[in-house]
Amino acid sequence: MNHKDFTQKWLGLQDSNKFLKIVCGFLLFVNFILVIGVLNTEKLVILVPQGLSEQADIAQNKASEGYKKSWGMYAATLLGNITPENADFILESLNDMVTPDIKLLLNDQVRNDLDTLKEEKVSATFEIKKVSYEPETDKVFVTGKHWITGVGAKSSSSAQTFEFKIDIKNYSPIITNLALYEGEAKIVAVVKREAAKKQSQNDQEKLK
């Protein structure tokens, strides 16, 4: 056996082993970083809400525009079509997705609405026409026709808007702000326009 060739081959194997050890160590380090990254990455659930054509994404404490619009439409449909027969069901359905303050307001408002419907012997329905989301305020606006039908099938309608602010906590929607008013959605541009108009009227009255 050629001792010189054997020594060279042995040294070559030693060098190869050192190189492979370095590569393996580097790969283990990369895998460790990937595992840490995966464990710390917030889970994302992808949903396609019924009635909306857009995709809705939801993570643990945040959600996409489509998800919030879907829940706003759901809540407006319930609140806009309350009757003495379904009032308890609607309140129970919304109990877990509103803050305690809004829950109290809803209970009082629903009871008042039911008393009014009974006294005037009318029924109310809400037909959604438009659902929109405003990124500046993180609000959902559900606008539609509010119908009042009385004795003899006589009915009248008016434009009505539900305004929601929906937060996400542990993948669940929580309505933190709720407003109902007649007319179109009070988006930022509309609010500014109305404020400017009111200011102008006040200025004119001061000049008189």
Sequence ranges of the domains in the chain: 66-201
Q: What is the pLDDT of residue 47?
A: 47
DSSP string, 5-63: HHHHHHHHHHHHHHHHHHHHHHHHHHHHHHHHHHHHSPP-EEE--TT-SS-EEE-SS-B
> Angle CA(56)–CA(60)–CA(64) in degrees, nearest 5?
25
| Mean per-residue pLDDT, 128-136 | 93
Domain 66-201 coded CATH 3.10.580.10 = no
pLDDT at 159: 93
Average the pLDDT over each of 32-36, 134-138, 168-172, 184-188 and give the range with the smallest value.
Answer: 32-36
Q: Of 54-68, 87-101, 106-120, where does mean pLDDT reach its minimum?
A: 54-68
d(CA 42, CA 40): 6
What confidence tens digit (pLDDT) does each residue in 78-98 have?
999 888 788 888 888 888 889
pLDDT per residue as tens digits for the range 142-154: 999 998 887 666 6
Residue 108 burial by Cβ neighbours in a 10 Å radius (0-12, 13-18, 19+): exposed
Give which of 47, 111, 62, 120 is closest to 82, Cα–Cα.
111
Phi-psi region of 167 (alpha: psi -120 to 50; beta: other; left: phi over 0): beta
Nearest-CA neighbor of 176 among 68, 91, 90?
68
Say what the pLDDT of residue 88 is: 85
Could you give the angle at the alpha carbon of 52 between the alpha carbons of 48 and 55, nearest 5°?
35
The pLDDT score that the predictor gives to residue 183 is 92
Asked if 122 and 103 touch (Cβ cutoff 8 Å), the reply is no
Q: Report the percentage of the chain scoring pLDDT > 70.
A: 66
**Residue 61 — very low, low, confident or very high, per pLDDT cuts 50/70/90?**
confident
* Radius of gyration of the chain from its Cα atoms, rounded to whole angstroms: 31
Total length of the chain: 208
Instruction: State the average pLDDT for the chain.
Output: 77
Residue 60: per-residue pLDDT: 67
**Secondary structure (3-state) at 146:** strand
Q: Beta partners for 156?
A: 148
Task: Return the pLDDT at 13.
Answer: 55
Provide the pLDDT for residue 161: 96
Decide: 97 and 72 in contact? Cβ < 8 Å. no
